[in-house]
Amino acid sequence: MIGDPSVSQTEPTNAYAAAGVDIHAGDRAVDLMKVWIEKSRRPEVLGGVGGFAGLFDASALKAYERPLLATSTDGVGTKVAIAQAIDKHDTIGFDLVGMVVDDLVVCGAEPLFMTDYIATGKVVPERVAAIVKGIAEACVEAGCALVGGETAEHPGLLAADEYDVAGAATGVVEADKLLGADRVEAGDVVLAMEASGLHSNGYSLVRHVLLNSGAYTLDQQVAEFGRTLGEELLTPTRVYAKACLDLARGTRTHAMSHVTGGGLAANLERVMPAELSARIDRTTWTPAPVFDLVRRTGSIALEDLEMTLNCGVGMVALIAPEDVDEAVRILAGYDIRAWAAGEVTATPGGKVELTGAYAGW
């Protein structure tokens, strides 16, 4: 691992370099990323870059009556293959944070701090710094601090230009403000929040359909997108954290669902009580062109598409009907388009049904 203290910095360093691990490149990467990490700093963070552990002053939690810590971990899947193919690495870290912190916020937890892990076949300092830049920028948008991380060089396991990223975050929520299935009521509105694009799920399917079966190339201009396919596929995952926290504070929001792998219905079912169900009307929105391109190119059945991709909805809130207008207003303040897409019904089963056809499909 980069910076492993058990490795001597004299003769064994040369041997380690001969084995494919460049400690000096790792040190250079740390120097380049420091400026970005500092931008994500919160006042509770102690110390700087380079320690064995990130420190966060937990005395801030004394203001809570009964603080519950929430934690989440994730990666970005095979979306990294797109970044590597077009040699653009400053957005993939943004995706990582979105995938992690937006899992925290669904229970009402404020993200406090995050750590990351980057494994690569060869440490290229500028590339690692670009990845961390995206992580730090998204942490700023989410309001959490990037307190630590690790860059590991794995020659022989990964090719020189290959890497993968993962991260974990911790948040806090007051116990009596915890969102979830026990708060959901019949008549609640299913408030959909627009996705920025594919986010970071289903890229194995997307790559297979568009790049293999469809014979598209990443540098190909696509009229529906107004840019290249590669640029479209690298659209960063939207970070909903601050907007959703404001939503929870300003409205009677009972539960939220982050729409990731498994699609809209399956993820919303995770916060549905067994005695209720929900119905969502597809006619209330039109998925972005990239979803239709995947569907048409691969002749993908709608059921399969919806089980894999978010189809234009990245986050959902179950909210009291009287508060819908206020919720839409709050989210608009964060440039997030939201709309009433369905409702919670008194039908037992905890199921979510999608009805109708997407507008324009």
Nearest one of 4, 10, 249 to 110, comparing CA atoms: 249
Co-location of 143 and 119 in the same domain: yes
Co-location of 226 and 149 in the same domain: no
Please state the φ and ψ torsions of residue 282, each to the nearest 5 degrees.
-60, -25
d(CA 103, CA 96): 11
pLDDT of residue 176: 97
CATH number of the CATH domain containing 94: 3.30.1330.10
Q: Which of 127, 151, 174 is the last residue of a domain?
A: 174
H helices of 209-321, where?
Answer: 229-233, 241-250, 263-269, 289-298, 302-308
Q: Is residue 80 part of a domain?
A: yes
pLDDT of residue 1: 40
H helices of 87-202, where?
Answer: 92-104, 125-142
Co-location of 241 and 304 in the same domain: yes
Co-location of 96 and 192 in the same domain: no
pLDDT of residue 3: 42
Co-location of 158 and 197 in the same domain: no
pLDDT of residue 5: 36
pLDDT of residue 56: 83
pLDDT of residue 231: 98
Angstrom CA distances, 212 to 159, 179, 187, 265, stand at 22, 42, 45, 28
Q: Which amino acid is at 266?
A: A
**Chain-centre distance of CA 299, in angstroms?**
27
pLDDT of residue 32: 56
Query: In which residue are the tokens 């978010």 written?
Result: 310
pLDDT of residue 55: 83
Low-confidence ranges of the chain (pLDDT < 50): 1-12
Q: Is residue 50 part of a domain?
A: yes
Q: How many domains does the chain have?
A: 2
Range of the domain at 120: 22-55+65-174
pLDDT of residue 145: 93
pLDDT of residue 66: 97
Co-location of 136 and 275 in the same domain: no
Q: Is residue 28 part of a domain?
A: yes
Co-location of 234 and 338 in the same domain: yes
d(CA 63, CA 41): 20
Q: Is residue 148 part of a domain?
A: yes
pLDDT of residue 360: 86
Co-location of 166 and 198 in the same domain: no
pLDDT of residue 22: 62
- Cβ neighbours for 262, distance < 8 A, ≥ 6 positions apart: 307
